[in-house]
Structure 1
Amino acid sequence: MHSTRNKLLHLLAQSEFISGTELGAQLGISRSAIGKHIDAFKQLGLDVFSVRGKGYKLSEPLSLLSHDTISDYVQAQLSHEKYRQIPQPLYLDVLNVVDSTNTYIKQNIAQLSQGASCIAEAQSAGRGRHGKQWISPFASSIYLSMYWRFSGGYQTLSGLSLVVGLAVNRTLNHFGITDGQLKWPNDIYINMQKIAGILIEVEGSVGDEVHCVIGLGLNVNLPDDITGIEQPFTDLQSHSQPTMINRNHLTAQLILDIQHALIIFEKSGLSSFISEWESLNVFADKDITLIIGQQSVQGVCMGIDPQGALRVMVDGEIKTYHGGEISVRAR
Structure 2
Amino acid sequence: MKHASKLIRQHILSLLSDGQFHSGEAIAAEVGLSRTAVAGHINQLTKWGLDVFKVKGKGYRLERPFELLTADRIKKQLTKNNTAVIQVESVLASTNTELKKRISVAPHNLADGDVLLAEIQTAGKGRHGRPWLAPVGGSLTFSLYWSFPDGYQSMAGLSLLVGLAVCNGLKKCGVPDTQLKWPNDVYLQNKKLAGILIEVEGQIGATAHCVIGIGLNVCMPDAQFDVGQPHTDLTTYLGYTPDRNSVAAAIIDALWELLPIFSQQGFQPFINQWELLDLYADKTVVLRMGDKRFSGIDRGVDASGALLVETQDGLTRFHGGEVTLRGN
TM-score, length-scaled by structure 1: 0.91
Which amino acid counterpart does residue 177 of structure 2 have in structure 1? D
Q: Give the Cα–Cα distance (whole angstroms) in 2 for the partners of residues 34 and 206 of structure 1.
A: 49
Equivalent position to 2:220, from 219, 222, 226: 222
1:53 is matched with which residue? Answer: 57
**Aligned residues of 2:139 and 2:220 also touching (Cα < 8 A):** yes
- Residue 275 of structure 2 is matched in structure 1 by 278
Q: AA paired with 1:46?
A: L
Q: What secondary structure, in the 3-state scheme, does the structure 2 residue paired with 1:127 have? A: coil
Partner of residue 257, structure 1: 254
Shift, 1:236, TM fit: 1.1
The equivalent residue for 1:91 is 85
Q: Deviations over 1:3-53 (max 9, x none)?
A: 222212211111112333333333333333332233223222222232233
Contact kept in structure 2, 1:20 and 1:56, CA below 8 Å: yes
Are 1:165 and 2:169 matched, yes or no?
no
Partner of 1:95: helix, strand, or coil? strand
1:62 aligns with 2:59: no
Q: Distance in 1 between matches of 2:94 and 2:24?
A: 33
CA displacement 1:218-271 (0-9 Å, x = unmatched):
1111255545522111111111113x2111121122211112110111122112
For 1:178, what is the secondary structure of its paired residue? Answer: coil
In structure 1, what is the equivalent of residue 298 of structure 2?
301
Query: Which residue of 1 is the match for residue 234 of structure 2?
Result: 236
Q: Which one of the candidate residues 2, 12, 17 is aligned to 1:8? A: 12
Q: Which amino acid aligns with 1:124?
A: T
Structure 1: tracts of 5 or more residues without a match: 78-82
Deviations 1:138-169 (A, max 9, x none): 22211111111112222211111111000000
Q: Distance in 1 between matches of 2:317 and 2:249?
A: 36
**Structure 1 residues 25-64: aligned runs within 5 Å:** 25-64=29-68
The runs of 4+ residues in structure 1 deviating greater than 4 Å are 223-228
C-alpha contact (below 8 Å) 2:70/2:88 kept by paired residues: yes
> Match for 1:275: what amino acid?
N
Q: 1:278 to 1:38 in 2, by over 3 A?
A: same
Question: How does 1:174-185 map onto structure 2 within 5 Å?
Answer: 174-185=172-183
CA contact (8 A) 2:49 2:134 kept: no
- The whole-number CA distance in structure 1 between the counterparts of 2:223 and 2:268 is 42
SS of residue matched to 1:238: helix
Backbone CA RMSD of aligned residues: 1.8
Distance 1:57 1:228 in 2: 23
Contact 1:180–1:280 (CA under 8 A) maintained in structure 2: yes
* Structure 1 SS opposite 2:266: helix
| d(CA) in 2 for partners of 1:56, 1:216 | 31
What is the count of residue pairs matched by the alignment?
Answer: 320
